[in-house]
Structure 1
Amino acid sequence: MEQWPWWVLAIAFVVDIAIRITAIIVIPRNRRPMSAMAWLLAVFFIPYIGVVLFLVIGNPRLPRARRRKQDQINRYIAATSDKLHFGTLRPNAPDWFRSVVTMNQNLGALPISGDNGAHLISDYQESLDAMAEAIRSAQEYVHVEFYILQSDDSTDNFFRALEEVAARGVSVRVLLDHWANRWKPRYRATVKRLNAMGANWHLMLPMQPLKGRMQRPDLRNHRKLLVIDGKVGYLGSQNITDSSYNLPKNIKRGLHWVDLMVRVDGPVVLSLNAMFLSDWYSETDEILSEIDITNAEIGTGDLDCQIVPSGPGYEVENNLRLFLALLYAAKKKIVIVSPYFVPDEALLLAVSSMCDRGVEVELFVSEEGDQAMVYHAQRSYYEALLRAGVRIWMYRKPYILHTKSLTIDDEVAVIGSSNMDMRSFGLNLEVSMLVRGGEFVSEMRAVEDQYRTLSRELTLEEWLRQPLRSTVLDNLARLTSALQ
């Protein structure tokens, strides 16, 4: 067997050392320690492959031009935020709540508003049909922004509603994520239907190098929202698709998604609309100046609501900071519902600290996972959570509990599209809504009670019986989850 010449080996050695030294200098800069360590391990153990991966997916930020657009949007919203301060806020808000609201506005520009109505819809098909009926009431415009948007039997009523209002001259604007839809079932049928109705639709975060549109390929717009005439809105965890997502592997396993949406009316709808307009501008360079976000109607309730956008277009993880602030503010009870719970060090410390302070903490996850790496990464935290005193409820298969919510004590809740994992904190564009109002938390508690009856509790004794191979796989997935 012919050996490599000495000079080839020498060059390879020098390059290998140079890669490792450069990695130590470049990778940790402005990056979480856990993420930096994961990338360094990848580069040190598989230098050439690790470098290629880092060059492709190592930058968790949107392109500079996109970030400049987000800065412009934030400045515009901040300049006009007084016009979004509608409604009368509920009295006697605790100091910590006011400071959280201030933080949210400083990070995401959107203020809090009062006199809002908000009601939950926990049935999957009922939610789709409720949105369809709301669309049929449109007089001026319908704004649709969903991570996944598919025309199928379950969503036919939704699409028929869009067709009906478009036929009578209502402007229908649609945003859907490129990566999540382009190679999925029903994409061509969906696009054909949007075109036929005359909808003005665009892909979010498209990977189109020939058109000069490039960014890290796994940055995604994960938001789910609907706005009708600036008067009624919907947001939450549900995509516009069948509960099986029309994927053969899901159908074969009998998997169905369980989601939670919230219908809102009142001034907060203007903030939700402002976020759609910002995403529209980011994708199209079009400023929809004819859309009025300065005149609000009083809602059907008196809830205080604040929209909190987050994602790689912002300097920090807005959603993570919101979750941490609320967790540390809890006095009695915390309930977390997150299909993908992969905490960073700060979030894990916050949860365990609340247990140490005597706060009751419950976590709802799915018994079965649909994404193997995230599922196993999540499992790697179960022992630490159980030992800390967290009660873990596993929603029984073949259902995937996809709701994303947080309730603390009796008066404050968050609902939206954001999971509590590092992807949602750093790589996905998300939308969350902070709500203050005991009646809304009561609705959330009723849903949580329903989830509890459909779940089984995981105990530490059961978990410690996990086979070694599962532990190894979970821990490996935990390392890869930090590659941001």
Structure 2
Amino acid sequence: MRYVLLPVVLIALIFALGNVVLFNALPKPDRLKEPLALEYGTSSEQFRRDMGLLLQQPIVSGNRIDLLQDGEAIYAAKIEAIENAEHSVTFEVYEYWGEQAAIFSEVLARAAERGVRVHAMLDFLGSRDADPEMFERMEEAGVELVRWREPSWYQLSRFNHRTHRKLLVVDGHTGFIGGANVADPWVDGDDRDGYRDNHFRIQGPVVGNLQAVFLETWLDATGRMPTGEAYFPELSDMGDRDAQMVNSAPREGRHRVRLMFLHAIAAAEEHITIGTAYFYPDPRFLEVLEEAADRGVRIRVLVPGDSMNFGFFRHASVNRWRPMLESGVELYEYHPRMYHSKLMAIDDRWASIGSANLHNRSFRLNDEANLNIWDEGFAREIRELIEVDKADAERLTIEDWENRPLRRRLAGWITHLIGPYL
């Protein structure tokens, strides 16, 4: 009998594995497949109105946003905020390991020991290299710790879903968002230069929306929903910037960042300036950039060069650049060190900062969080921030593209086969 059952069991296992790959490893559908033909641009109030309603996220006035550059400054500001916490700390991050994670673990543990309600959500894959003693230290101190998306037999359909957010909210009134994880590559070492990255400290009413994004995922992970003044205090105006918190997740009705970027690009009137660590969007997204260039919008995209931490990814991306180069899109490769920023500025009117890269994983497989800002001064600052780094980058021409070594072409072609799943 067991010999009869063996083929049946084998077929069942193959079928189960096929379903896991089909419904999880593959990226989710594109959703928006038709071009956005807008009758307005970023200078129109209609652009702001549509973005608020289509993304189902309010645009909130009265916010202050401070730039933090590179790991040491980013970590120092976050640690100071946690050390001054009185009521609550909510913390969500993708990569978490090494000496820097050990420092954060101790700071979070001490906050919990003095009575602060501390909730930490670490992506399981992104924290796989962390010393287990860090987790023990935090849990023994009273930190509520979740390692999100730990592989399990009853969640096989989500094993490729990650939280890629980098959120910290302290006492419900001070928030942090941006590109930096908590790991050693973000600071200088004996054998490395720290990653080039940007993070932002947020104060004002929109911090409540950052908190809501974290707690939505916390509810998914734990079935619990912390509420009250410790998490949602009354928030006063702290500045003059209008901001919109946008969360995106690999679940029905929550794929938002791709639509957000496509809408903003379609509304561009003069220029689009982008800084992104991973630039591998789907073909339709690339066509939208080309269409913007064809209508006279100047487009500049800054990406990592030889220092990229995933070189294979870079080659796959470069293989698809020729149509953009021919349409006039300016592509720059940053070589001094790993460029890890995620920034977009359009027409000196609108900017987006946060965790989302321009690739399929951010669009369809990750939990992401971005903050959009409607402020001419801030959008100009983001554009200029990218331009400063662009001064240390090399522009890629069509001639450069055509003269790439054969080994890079082959590496890019091979990687292209799995690019949508990275």
Interval of TM-score (by shorter of Structure 1 and Structure 2): 0.7 to 0.9
TM-score (norm 1): 0.76
Is the partner of 1:287 in helix, strand or coil? coil
- The reply to whether residue 193 of structure 1 matches residue 140 of structure 2 is no
Structure 1 residues 143 and 282: CA distance shift in structure 2, 3 A: same
For 1:269-323, what per-residue CA distance to the aligned partner results, in whole angstroms no more than 9, with x for missing partners? 1111011111111111112134566653123211111111112123363100000
Structure 1 residues 391 and 119: CA distance shift in structure 2, 3 A: same
Match in the other structure for 1:366:
304
Alignment equivalent of 1:145, drawn from 92, 110, 116: 92
Match in the other structure for 1:55:
19
CA distance in 2, matches of 1:58, 1:375: 25
- The reply to whether residue 273 of structure 1 matches residue 211 of structure 2 is yes
Structure 1 residues 159 and 129: CA distance shift in structure 2, 3 A: farther
Task: Output the amino acid matched with 1:220.
Answer: R
Q: Map residues 158-177 of structure 1 onto 2, 5 A cutoff.
A: 158-177=104-123
Report the structure number with the largest CA radius of gyration.
1
Q: Is the 8 A contact 2:173 2:233 kept in 1?
A: no
Is the partner of 1:179 in helix, strand or coil? coil
Match in the other structure for 1:179:
125
Q: Is the 8 A contact 1:58 1:483 kept in 2?
A: no
Task: Output the amino acid matched with 1:268.
Answer: V
Match in the other structure for 1:101:
52
Shift of 1:268: 0.7
CA distance in 2, matches of 1:290, 1:61: 38
- Unaligned segments of structure 1, at least 5 residues: 1-18, 20-47, 63-91
Match in the other structure for 1:385:
324
TM-score (norm 2): 0.86
Aligned CA-pair RMSD: 2.7
Match in the other structure for 2:289:
351
- Unaligned segments of structure 2, at least 5 residues: 1-10, 27-42
Match in the other structure for 1:394:
333
CA distance in 1, matches of 2:114, 2:233: 24
Alignment equivalent of 2:260, drawn from 302, 309, 322: 322
CA distance in 1, matches of 2:309, 2:21: 22
Worse-superposed segment, 157-166 or 354-363:
157-166
- The reply to whether residue 342 of structure 1 matches residue 280 of structure 2 is yes
Match in the other structure for 1:428:
366
Sequence identity (%): 29
For 1:91-138, what per-residue CA distance to the aligned partner results, in whole angstroms no more than 9, with x for missing partners? x96211211111111xxxx32211111121112210000011111221
* More helix, by proportion: 1
Match in the other structure for 2:179:
237
Q: Is the 8 A contact 2:24 2:160 kept in 1?
A: no
Shift of 1:237: 0.9
CA distance in 2, matches of 1:289, 1:382: 47
Worse-superposed segment, 196-205 or 92-101:
92-101
> Following TM superposition, where does structure 1 have runs of at least 4 consecutive aligned residues deviating by more than 6 angstroms?
none
- The reply to whether residue 115 of structure 1 matches residue 62 of structure 2 is yes
Q: Is the 8 A contact 2:301 2:331 kept in 1?
A: yes
For 1:168-195, what per-residue CA distance to the aligned partner results, in whole angstroms no more than 9, with x for missing partners? 211111000011212x1x3313213323
CA distance in 1, matches of 2:190, 2:252: 37
Match in the other structure for 1:443:
381
CA distance in 2, matches of 1:197, 1:279: 23
Task: Output the amino acid matched with 1:101.
Answer: G
- The reply to whether residue 219 of structure 1 matches residue 161 of structure 2 is yes
CA distance in 1, matches of 2:116, 2:295: 54
Task: Output the amino acid matched with 2:240.
Answer: D
Task: Output the amino acid matched with 1:299.
Answer: D
CA distance in 2, matches of 1:198, 1:293: 17
CA distance in 2, matches of 1:479, 1:208: 28
